[in-house]
Amino acid sequence: MTDLNKLTLKEAREGLLSKKFTAVELTQSCLDRIKSLDKKLNSFVTVTGEDALKQAQSVDINLPLGGIPIAVKDNYLTKDIRTTASSRVLDNYLAQYDATTIKKLKNAGAIIIGKTNLDAWAHGSSTETSDYGPTLNPWNMEHLPGGSSGGSAAAVAADETIISVGSETAGSIRQPASWCGVVGFKPTYGRVSRYGVIAMKSSTDSPGPICKTVDDAANLLEIMSGSDPFDATSIDEPPWKKPELRQNLKGLKIGLPLSYFPPQTQPEVKEAILGAVETLKKLGAEIIELSDVLDPKYSIAVYTILQRSEVSSNLARFDGIRYGHDRSFFGTEAKRRIMLGTYSLSAGYYDAYYLKAQKVRTLICQDFDNQFKKVDAIIGPVSPTTALKIGASEGQSMFGEIQDMLVEPSSIAGLPGISIPCAFDKIGLPIGLQIMAPQKREDLVYQIAKLFEDNTDYHLERPKL
């Protein structure tokens, strides 16, 4: 059987269990794809190669992910595999332990084939701030993959891996998933442990899956989720379980916020979302236009202040004494964020900036609470545009915040959300539909996304590489 790397998680599991191919053959197929593509695509910072094949030889394929190759964003600590956060500060850093999520993936039988590229320290939405060079978009290599989980999204879109994991702080799962035409499932804050994930903005960091289908993402989230005694912010509940699929969407009210189409929205993006609305209507959903949703532009300022403040604290540990190189190895973006965060937290400015941002964050959370009294879920574009060209972020200090403005509010509020392919623009770049629900309602996000996917063909399209 050829092109095993192109299989979904479900297909790969069925093939392994029926002995149509082996875990070694599946892993080798992904490694061959990486070898042929990645010098140009640059999805990976580190490829495990022989170690991955060695694991594949002895893996128990009866485990939930037994024999499945997985790509891991390079801000997850992985014992004995280099972890860099795409920064030269950690160029040769080997973690002494696995992140909780990595432990769960290994215990489930997953085979880590490599660590994927990201914006350094996850600072960005383009993967251009990586100290190891930008990742390119598999649909058009003149364009960006998004970020910060750009390497994970591009690796899935290019069939370099069967599944991958990313992390989202303000859109870093859903936005690159949208730009790369794959599925990115951002769970409720605390649903998946942050322990062992290099902290960026601790109060919104959310690890999650990036996959080829909604079912793949849901199946992976089941394994990643669950309470963790090492993470005080993890939800004290058993692992999330995928619910039964609904027959239709009858009885569901889905909100469409008019403020989620800002002036810079690409006409094809708006057209795609309105097309998705018609599909959801045919499935039985009642679509309700929401005219009073807090404008997402306010999330830009809130996120900017809070994120920079937490960055200035979280990056203080990287001083070159305990691990890694000294602070002269920080890139321009990291230095900019540290300085702005330190300023926001300094005496005389704390109340004016940080405290006020926290108050507005509360208003954003309250606004979602009010909207969910009227509707069961909310939909909209993931990003105002499709993937922009390489170099678009240069000289744009607020590039990430503007590209993420439509996913920032739900991340700030800790809500679950998903990005699924819903159309393509005139030059063939993917467009993503985001679905959001109240906290801990991943079941609703999954059901709506799965029914949409089952009644459209966008997820079946693959880039021509």
Provide the annotated active-site residues.
73, 148, 172
Are the C-beta atoms of 81 and 54 separated by less than 8 Å?
Answer: no
Cα 54–211–409 angle (5° rounding)? 130
Cα separation, 165 vs 211, whole angstroms: 8
- Helices 442-454 and 267-282 pack at an angle, to 10 degrees, of 90
Cα 205–210–211 angle (5° rounding)? 165
Nearest-Å Rg of the Cα atoms of the chain is: 20
Are the C-beta atoms of 44 and 139 separated by less than 8 Å?
Answer: no
